[in-house]
Structure 1
Amino acid sequence: MTASRVNPLDGFTVDPAAIRTVGEGLQRPECILAERDGSLWCADARGGVVQIGPDGSQRLVTPTVSAGFATLADEATRFVSGTLPNGLAFARNGDILIANFGTDRLEIMTRGGESRVLADTIDGAPIGKVNFVLRDSRDRLWLTISTRMTNWMLAISPNVRDGAIALYENGRLRIVADGFAFTNEIRLDADEQWLYVAETCGRKVTRLRVRPDGDLVDRETFGPDDHGACIDGIAFDAFGNLWGTHIFTDRIFAITPEGELRILLDDDRGSEAGKAFLAAFDRDEVTPELMLACGGAIAPLCASVTFGGPDLRDVYVGSLKASRIACFRSPVPGLPMVHW
């Protein structure tokens, strides 16, 4: 990390007037992948992923065999069994790895829609609520499990810590760390020495040292002990700042290499819905209605940040409620992902 140099985020905040949008008619574009040619791929609640071409063209790719689909609103009213792609990553050959929040499986799909399951159990037991997948330079797959509760909304609590991280290698999925408060997105640093974990209900980022065999050790907090808000997605820039989103209060933040929290965009601005959610969370009385009432105007229920564009300075914001993807320019490029 480059803490000795001037941080390019010094004095930077996102100008809402400079935000543009990409795509249209999307459903729950929670996770976004960017390619060198300008293409974007985003998860979609219709059961697959949407490819948005550099020219703005769109196509929805769904598995050739579908189990139906679920949405956040469906989950809020009743338990729904169906496919709900959440976290995405590219396999080395360009296929799409899918952490399926609906089927609780790690899946892989070709760009033509041929799909198969990589893992649906760990040591013979159900995996749990699969959230996000990350591929490293050794082609190992890191998978987050937010909770073991079937109704995941019961885990939106300050008192539940049954989240885990699993590693998929040589056809086997195994737990390498657990005890997290709703494990969400994860990222590796530039040298793949540390794995950073967004603990949504811990309201903090945790990091663990990666051993050569994939075991995770030396757990510690990176940045503030409590953001005072629930964290969803995270991503590194090339300087070493860790960007992220505060879901339910719709903020984009960065944690500097020194651990300082900076708010780059606040689209909640102390809304009554956001305050009601945070107060209920502190009392351990969150309801689906309180969650769904949240959300600003730019990327409601903002869930992720992805760097893209030819210079990796376009920032795309994933969302649980938007039908388009918000985008703005960053003063610093993102850290290239392994597929870049």
Structure 2
Amino acid sequence: MNVRLCITVLFGLLASISVSAQETVVASNVLGPEGPLVVDGKLYFVAWESNQLVRMDDGKQTVINGDSKCSQNGLALTKRNTFLLACDSEPGAIIETDLQGKELRRWTADADGKPMAGGVNDIVVTSNDGAYATLTGPGGDQPPVVGKVLYLAPGAKQWRVVADFLNHANGIAVSPDQQTLYVAETFGNTVKKFKINEDGSLGDRANFVFLNLLVDDAVKSMALGPDSMKVDHAGNLYVAQWKGGKVLKISPNGQLLHVFKVTAGDGTTNVAFDEGEKNIYVTVVNDTRDKKYPGSVVRLPND
């Protein structure tokens, strides 16, 4: 091997070590990792395959909710200091728990009495303590385009449908000014945006970004589109790319700002910020071909 080649290989190894050194595994052996959230300095996440809501305590995983009928997926914190937990089982449900995981309330149908068919995927809470949730719709190789968005108005008792005909409705997020709702359409490879009206209804539906126009991926799959996502204080969207092994940071005007490559696996599912947004926590499945979906939660500096 010549000197120039040796130097090239050496720099390549150093680069790979640098990337790995920035990624810290904070929770491992998680079956179906999703829904990360940092509350009062503690990390919470869910495991949809083992039906668990987990809190990290001094580096150890403590199961605080173990509902076998839920298939826990999205997780959001209300202004009342309770959790809204998305159940991705069939039919789906939304559970409200206290911070210790004790169930306080459960919704299994919308305001029209229709079951939450296809499972509830993700939830976001608004500044006035309303909430939006996504109904994924049935899966499969050629799923029908029947995904929905539900809305729970502040103080309301029932969730109502405010958007429909979404192609596998997944992650959901609200802009800091509370004017825009983002919805990940996984099998459409796009993030949709809606104008939020004063009564919580949605209008001006539009395509915000198509992921295939932002990044090139060797993998070809309908499920390569966006998974769950979060918005930072500046309005930037952090989108986890299932089967892509990365998180995309996208500006409010749809420009790609940064790509966080995750080495722990190809099934990135969701993102959370720590205090001050200095780091991001990413839930990731090791190998999306493994149907037990073993994975982990990793921490990355928020560059």
Aligned to 1:126: 115
- Whose strand fraction is larger, Structure 1's or Structure 2's? 2
Aligned to 1:39: 42
Write the deviation string for residues 195-241 of structure 1: whole angstroms up to 9, x where unpaired.
01111111011100000101100011113375573110112233332
The answer as to whether partners of 1:299 and 1:317 remain within 8 angstroms in 2 is no
Aligned to 1:209: 195
Structural RMSD (CA): 2.2
The 5 Å alignment of 1:104-183 reads: 104-122=92-110, 123-128=112-117, 129-147=119-137, 149=138, 152=139, 154=140, 157=142, 160-169=144-153, 170-183=156-169
Post-superposition offset of 1:101: 0.5
- Equivalent pairs, count: 264
Match of 1:60 among 60, 63, 71: 63
Match of 2:183 among 197, 202, 210: 197
Counterpart of 2:21 in 1: which secondary structure? helix
Separation in 2, partners of 1:93, 1:139: 8
Q: Which amino acid is 2:209 matched to? A: G
Closer, same or farther: CA 249–323 of 1 in aligned 2, 3 Å: closer
Higher RCO (CA-CA < 8 Å; seq separation 6+): 1
Closer, same or farther: CA 20–322 of 1 in aligned 2, 3 Å: farther
Separation in 1, partners of 2:21, 2:121: 32
Write the deviation string for residues 127-167 of structure 1: whole angstroms up to 9, x where unpaired.
112111111111112110011x3xx2x2x54x732111011
Query: Unaligned stretches of 5+ in structure 2?
Result: 1-17, 217-223, 286-292
The answer as to whether partners of 1:224 and 1:261 remain within 8 angstroms in 2 is no
Match of 1:222 among 205, 208, 215: 208
Q: Which amino acid is 1:136 matched to? A: T
Aligned to 1:184: 170
The 5 Å alignment of 1:1-340 reads: 15-36=19-40, 38-44=41-47, 45-53=49-57, 55-63=58-66, 66=67, 68=68, 82-102=69-89, 104-122=92-110, 123-128=112-117, 129-147=119-137, 149=138, 152=139, 154=140, 157=142, 160-169=144-153, 170-224=156-210, 226-227=212-213, 229-262=224-257, 264-266=259-261, 297-308=263-274, 310-320=275-285, 321-331=293-303
Post-superposition offset of 1:259: 1.7
Query: Unaligned stretches of 5+ in structure 1?
Result: 1-13, 69-81, 268-296, 332-340
Identical counterparts, % of pairs: 23
The answer as to whether partners of 1:89 and 1:133 remain within 8 angstroms in 2 is yes
Q: Which amino acid is 1:23 matched to? A: A
